[in-house]
């Protein structure tokens, strides 16, 4: 979980974010905006590369959890 301290522009280059069930919701070429002050988080179940641009300060990290995939 993070809090955006400025507008955060995210361009998905490969892979993508997923929902809690693991279903992919963002794909290569997708754009996402986290406006300043927005609390947000991401589920990433596959290798993902993004290009992020901040208009000011980077996110304030509130919580980070890494969960190993069973397999």
Q: What is the pLDDT of residue 65?
A: 73
Sheet order of strands, 2-3 included: 39-40, 2-3, 60-61
Read off the pLDDT band of 70 (50, 70, 90): low
What confidence tens digit (pLDDT) does each residue in 14-67 have?
A: 998 888 787 888 899 999 888 888 887 777 778 899 998 988 887 887 877 776
Q: Which of 36, 32, 41, 39 is nearest to 13 (CA)?
A: 32
How would you class 36 by CB atoms within 10 Å of its CB: exposed for 0-12, middle for 13-18, buried for 19 or more? middle
Prediction pTM value:
0.70
């Amino acid at each position: 979980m993070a809090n955006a301290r400025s507008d955060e522009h995210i361009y998905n280059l490969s892979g993508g974010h997923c929902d809690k069930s693991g279903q992919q919701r963002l794909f290569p070429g997708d754009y996402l905006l986290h406006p300043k002050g927005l609390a947000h988080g991401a589920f990433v179940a596959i290798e993902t590369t993004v290009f992020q641009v901040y208009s000011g300060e980077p996110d304030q990290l509130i919580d980070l959890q890494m969960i190993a995939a069973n397999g």
